[in-house]
Structure formats: structure tokens, C-alpha cells
Amino acid sequence: MLNVSGTAAWACPYTDFPLVEIRADRPVRVWTNRIRGAHAVAVHGDRVAFYGGYGEERDRLAHGELTEASVEPTDVGLLTLPDGSAPGRPRVVARGSRIYVQAKPFTAWGVFDLND
């Protein structure tokens, strides 16, 4: 997964899923991360949110805080559509503090904003 925000790129590569921040003006930063299989990551300051996971966690929305060396999980829930249903197999894109989700019939985007 990849998120681009301003001059930073954020990634959470398979298989250990560390959170990685890449900027042109400073060394790459890496945080260990226990949240596995996410499809999108949003970052705002020292807060982070991961959407998705494996199996029953595919609609998981996990929040965490960045410490010096790790992502510390703070809360976990399920992302639902405005009508309360699960998104199913949505299209997902993350930019900055936002995670955009588009469920079938793929006509409108929902937005989760970590900044709110």
C-alpha cells in the first residue's frame, strides 16, 4: 500500500508490515507495526489509521499512534457505509489523512478523515 501526502510517501510493505516514511530532505524512517494486511494507511501528525486486513478483518479500521520506533494500536473498529452495511470488496485509495472508499455499484466515494 502507498500514501502520498505533500512531500512524503508512506508505505507499509509486505511481509512484516513496517510503516515507512520517505522524504527527499531526510533519511527514511521506519516504525515497527503489529497491524497486518491493511489495504490503505492514512497519516496525520503522530496518528495513523489502517483500513483492511485478512479474512474477517477486511473491513477493519485500526487506529494507532507513532512512537519513536513503533506504531502503537489505540483502537479498532469496523468501517461501515452510511446505511450501516459493510463495504464488501471496495475500491480503496489513501491520500494524506484521508482514506477514500468506493463500494458497489462504484458510483460514489465515502471518505474517512483522520484529521476530523
> Integer distance in angstroms from the first to the last C-alpha of the chain?
22
**In terms of Cα–Cα distance, which of 42, 33, 16 is closest to 97?**
42
Strand partners, 26: 23
Residues of the chain above pLDDT 70, percent: 100
Domains of the chain, residue spans: 2-113
Residue 30 has pLDDT above 90, yes or no: yes
Q: What is the pLDDT of residue 82?
A: 84
| 4 CB-near residues (< 8 Å, 6+ apart) | 10, 95
pTM listed for this prediction: 0.94
Strand partners, 71: 33, 66
Q: What is the pLDDT of residue 91?
A: 95
pLDDT in tens, 44-87: 999 999 999 999 999 999 999 999 999 999 999 999 888 888 89
Q: What is the pLDDT of residue 83?
A: 87
Side chain identity, residue 91: R
Which DSSP symbol is given to 70?
Answer: E
